[in-house]
Amino acid sequence: MSDQAKTPAASSAAKKLFIKTYGCQMNVYDSQRMAEAMGAEGYVLTENQAEADMVLLNTCHIREKAAEKLYSDLGRLKPLKAERPDLKIGVAGCVAQAEGEEITRRMPLVDLVVGPQAYHRLPAMVRGEAPRIVTDFPEEDKFDHLPARTSLNRATRRAPAAFLTVQEGCDKFCAFCVVPYTRGAEVSRPVERILAEARDLVARGVREITLLGQNVNGWHGAGADGREWGFGRLIRAIAEIDGLDRIRYTTSHPNDMAGDLIEAHRDVPQLMPYLHLPVQSGSDRILKAMNRKHTAAEYLRLIDRIRDARPDIMLTSDFIVGFPGESDADHQATLDLVAQVNFGTAFSFKYSPRPGTPAYDRPEVDGDLADARLQELQALLTRQQKAAQEAMVGRTLGVLFEKPGREAGQMVGKSDYLHSVFVEAPQAQIGDLVQVRILESAPNSLRGELAA
Ligand code: SAH
Ligand code: SF4
Ligand code: F3S
C-alpha cells in the first residue's frame, strides 16, 4: 500500500478516534502506535471526545488511584454512549491486562479490552474479526505487526522529540510492582528494527529520541557485527545516525547499569547528561523486603562511577514511602541517601498495595504516618530541585524548541537537563536546537535568552 493510501485524507467521512493516555511514557508511545494502526483503518485523531466515533483509554495499573481513574472516566462516558450507541469504547494498557473481562462485567458499555502485548490485533477487534477481549502474550514482536511509522499522522508527526520503545516487560519482580504481570517478561526488540525506526524518525525531522523500556538498560541483542550488544553499544550505534542530536533513555534499573553504558555517558556527546535511576528507598532492610537486589551503599557507589564518567550529569529517581515494615529509622535512611546524592528532581509515592504482588498482604504502615513521611521527603526533594534549577542560571545550554511559549515571539523547549526553558526568539522554528543563556529560574521552568 502506498503512503498516500494509508494516510486518510482529511475528508469529513473519516471516523474520529479519541485516545486518553494514563501512566508512563511507554503508554504514550503505544498510544501513538495504536493511532497509526487505526489510521490505516480510516480513523483520524480528535482532541474532542464528544465528536469521537471511538474512545480508547490507554490505562495504568501502577497504583490504586491510577486504576480507579479508569472506572470514573468510564462512568462519565455513560451519557455519551446512551446518546450514540454506535460509539465504540476500548480499554487498552495495564488495567486491561490485569483485569480483562472484569472490566466489561463492571462496565458493560466497554466494547473492547486489549492488553499491551496485543495491540497489533486492535484493528481486527474493531472490525469485529477478533475476540472483544484479547490479553494474551504472543510470541512475536507486536510492533512488527503494526504499520510502519511512515503512516505517522498529523498529531505525532511534528514533534522534534520522539519516543522509541526498545525493550518491554520486566523480570525483576519488585515486591510492590504490577509491571511484570501487566507487561510480561523482558523482551528486547532487535537492533535492525530499532535502527530502522530511529532513522525513519530522524528522516521526518526528529532531532531527539528517548529510548524507552520498563527496564531499558537491560536491553540486549545480536548486533550487526554478529556480537551480543548491550544497551551502551546500542546507544553508540544510534548516535551514528546523521541529524540525530540528542539521545535519552528511561527507565533504568541500578543493577543493569553496565560498564559500557556508563562509558557511553563519558564518550557519546549526543547522550544527554541526565539519568533517571529509581532507588525506591535508602534502607537496606526495606530494599531487601522490596526485592530490589542492591543495597544503598551499592547504589551510592554506582552514582560515584556515573559521576566520574560524566561529572555534570543530573540524577533523578523514584521513591516509595510507607512500604510495609518501614520504620522511622528506615525513613531516615531514605532522607540520608537523598541528602547524599543530591537529585535534580524525583518522584515520590505513597505505597499502594497492588493485588497479585508479593507485598499485597503485608501489614501496612499507618496512613497518616506515611503521609507525613511523604511530605518530609517531598520537601527535601523540592529543595534539591530548586537548587538544581538555580544552578543553571548563568550557564549556556542547548535548548530544543518544541512549541510556542505563552507570550508572542516566545518559544519553549527542553534543555539538555530536561528543564522547560522559555526564550524570546521571534525568528525561531519548532525543532531548532539553539544555545541559550539561562537568566532566571521559576518554580517549574527556566527563562533564557539566545546566546550570541
Ligand atoms: N521500571 C521502573 C518503574 C516503573 S513504575 C523501575 O524499575 O524503576 C514507576 C514507579 O512507580 C516506580 O519506580 C515506583 O517508585 C512507583 N511504584 C511502583 N509500584 C508502586 C506501588 N505499588 N505503590 C507506590 N508506588 C509504586
Ligand atoms: Fe516494577 Fe521493579 Fe520491574 Fe521496575 S524493576 S518495573 S519497579 S518490578
Ligand atoms: Fe502504568 Fe503500565 Fe506504565 S502500570 S506505569 S502504564 S507499564
List, by residue range, all CATH 3.40.50.12160 domains of the chain: 15-141
Over range 104-109, report the average pLDDT. Answer: 96
Residue type, 297: A
Give per-residue burial for 302-316: e unless 16+ CB within 10 Å, then b.
bbeebbebbeebbbb
CB proximity list for 234: less than 8 A, separation 6 or greater: 166, 191, 194, 211, 219, 221
Reference 240, options 212, 269, 216, 219; nearest CA is 269
The count of other CB atoms within 10 Å of the CB of residue 385 is: 19
Which residues lie with the beta carbon below 6 Å from any ligand 2 atom?
170, 172-174, 177, 179-180, 214-215, 253
Say which CATH topology domain 396-450 has: OB fold (Dihydrolipoamide Acetyltransferase, E2P) (2.40.50)
* Domain 15-141: assigned CATH number: 3.40.50.12160
From atom 11 of ligand 1, which residue's Cα is the shortest distance away?
Answer: 62
List, by residue range, all CATH 3.30.750.210 domains of the chain: 157-272
Over range 113-137, report the average pLDDT. Answer: 94
Contact 354, 97 (CB under 8 A): no
Contact 207, 244 (CB under 8 A): yes
pLDDT of residue 219: 97
101 CA distance to ligand 3 centroid (A)?
19
When mean pLDDT is compared across 10-14, 45-49, 405-409, the lowest value belongs to 10-14
pLDDT of residue 158: 59
* Domain 285-391: assigned CATH number: 3.30.750.200
CB proximity list for 50: less than 8 A, separation 6 or greater: 80
Over range 408-437, report the average pLDDT. Answer: 97
CA of 183, closest atom in ligand 2? 6
From atom 1 of ligand 1, which residue's Cα is the shortest distance away?
Answer: 214
216 CA distance to ligand 3 centroid (A)?
14
pLDDT(7) > 70? no
* Domain 157-272: assigned CATH number: 3.30.750.210
From atom 2 of ligand 2, which residue's Cα is the shortest distance away?
Answer: 174
List, by residue range, all CATH 3.30.750.200 domains of the chain: 285-391
pLDDT(151) > 90? no
List, by residue range, all CATH 2.40.50.140 domains of the chain: 396-450
Contact 55, 87 (CB under 8 A): yes
pTM for this structure? 0.93
Q: Is the C-beta atom of 253 inside 6 A of ligand 1?
A: yes
